Amino acid sequence: MSLESSKTLAGIGAILVAIPFLNLIGIILVLIAMNGLAEYYHEDGIFRNALYGFIFGIIGAVALIVVIVMLIVGVAFVSPVAAPFIGVGLFIVSLIVLYIFSLLGAIFYRNSLSILSQKSGEGMFETAGLILLIGAIIPIIGEVLKFIAWILAAVGFFSIKTPTTQVSVVAPSPPPRPPSAPTMPVSEEKKYCQYCGTENKVEAIFCQKCGKQIGEKET
Ligand SMILES: [Zn+2]
């Protein structure tokens, strides 16, 4: 899947997650897109964490359904006196189960978004992940934060920079460095003073020992 289609799919998915009753379709789209993004960025954690988040969300939802079924069936078979107590008990249990699993799910979604933020350089994912987590911690009011988080994530997905030109993965090798030339031309040649015989540099004008003129004087 190309980056372009992954980010579009993820963006649409994230918007759908924010919409009640469409959130399951949305989260599946996000999951598929996260797989594409994980491949693009060569970072498995983007998909893996999103998948764990999804699994916890599903477990939470299934657990809630099971508790509701137990509630309906159970209340029908117990004495009318005990029914309200069992009903309230199961209702509280179902809320706790839902809370724990949605919190676990949010932790993993946040991890996925954090990694994606680092890989894509899109800071919006970090913000979205944090708001999502806070939303999962705070009951009831947190739902509003979760909604905002998914909208921010959608903005992030659509904002991922797509390279306009195909950037070559292998950078061209730099041209071979020329052999290092000395900054000062140091002459290896020597000349000898005709007065004292001392070895002097070829460009020397005066002998370094006796000080007599041995070279041509610059005018
Ligand atoms: Zn000399």
Residue 109 CA to residue 78 CA, distance in Å, equals 41
Mean pLDDT of 176-204: 73
Ligand 1 centre from 177 Cα, in Å?
A: 43
Give residues whose Cβ lies within 5 Å of ion ligand 1.
193, 195-196, 198, 207, 210
Q: Which residue blocks in the chain are alpha helix, DSSP H?
A: 3-18, 23-41, 44-77, 83-120, 124-137, 142-159
Ligand 1 centre from 214 Cα, in Å?
A: 8
pLDDT tier, 7 (very low <50, low <70, confident <90, very high otherwise)? very high
- Measured from the Cβ of residue 176, the count of other Cβ atoms closer than 10 Å reads 6
Residue 4 CA to residue 30 CA, distance in Å, equals 14
Question: What tens digit of pLDDT does each residue of 94-110 get?
Answer: 888 889 999 999 999 99
Question: What tens digit of pLDDT does each residue of 111-137 get?
Answer: 999 999 999 999 999 999 999 999 999
Q: Tell if the pTM clears 0.75, that is, is over it.
A: no
Displacement of CA 66 from its chain's centroid (Å) = 36
Ligand 1 centre from 219 Cα, in Å?
A: 22
